[in-house]
Homo-oligomer: A and B are copies of this chain.
Amino acid sequence: MESENQRTEDKIKQAATKIFQSKGYAATKTRDIAEEAGINLALVNYYFRSKKKLFEEVMLESLQGLASAVITIFKDESTTLDKKVTDFVHLYIDMLSENENLATFLLNSVRENPEFFIKKTHLLSELKSSSFIIQYQEAVKAKEIPPLNPTHFILNLIGLTVFPFISKPMVQVTMGTSDQAFQDMVEERKRLVPLWIKSMMTVK
């Protein structure tokens, strides 16, 4: 039976995604996944062979979601560098607001399995030849922005956008910020981060 089959497999992957993202690989038990999915324990191995393979599928799909979005934006040859920055900030803040553990999950997953990601992702080559990098290099050449290592620029853009989500628990513990106040704050950053990035580009 096709759709029932797919339904079970999907239920498992959905449950696994939720639990892996919130607790990480080691703290997640196959029995937790089975219970969350509402299926028999053995079906996890029936459909995905092992906990590790299931985790790798979840990792890759989670990365795909964020990476394909950024690649689309960065490759677009019809937009300016400024527009790409604004698009990136808006998209990432929206995506991370809907799934607050996603950034932390991916950073931890890469840290724990760097070799796996090196094999499975071609982000490097995708980005190096992207319109984004070319426009950045041209702006440097035209002396519109200082000749810094572009890694700084990318780290600043991603860091200013993503770091609030990674540090949300720390912010809430140390500053007593409510969920609503946090969300208001990151929404405000949709406007601010592009302005900040622009003003930072005057520094050499």
- A residues near B, CB below 8 A? 23-27, 104, 106-108, 110-111, 114, 117-118, 121, 123-124, 127, 148-149, 151-152, 155-156, 158-160, 162-164, 166-167, 169-177, 185, 188-189, 192, 195-196, 199-200, 202-203
Contacts and interface: CB of A to CB of B under 8 A. Distances in A.
Nearest to A148: B192
B155 A124 contact: no
Contacts of A169: 107, 110-111, 114
A175 B151 contact: yes
Integer count of this chain's copies in the complex: 2
B104 A185 contact: no
B185 A195 contact: no
Given A107-B166, A185-B151, A199-B200, A123 B160 contact: no
Contacts of A121: 173-174
Contacts of A176: 124
A155 B173 contact: no
Contact of A160 (B104, B110, B156): B156
**Pairs of residues from A and B, 6 with the lowest C-beta to C-beta distance, nearest first:** A159-B163, A26-B27, A26-B26, A111-B169, A123-B174, A196-B200
Given A151-B175, A164-B159, A199-B200, A104 B108 contact: yes
12 contacts: A110-B170, A111-B169, A114-B172, A127-B175, A148-B192, A151-B177, A152-B188, A155-B164, A159-B160, A196-B200, A199-B199, A199-B203
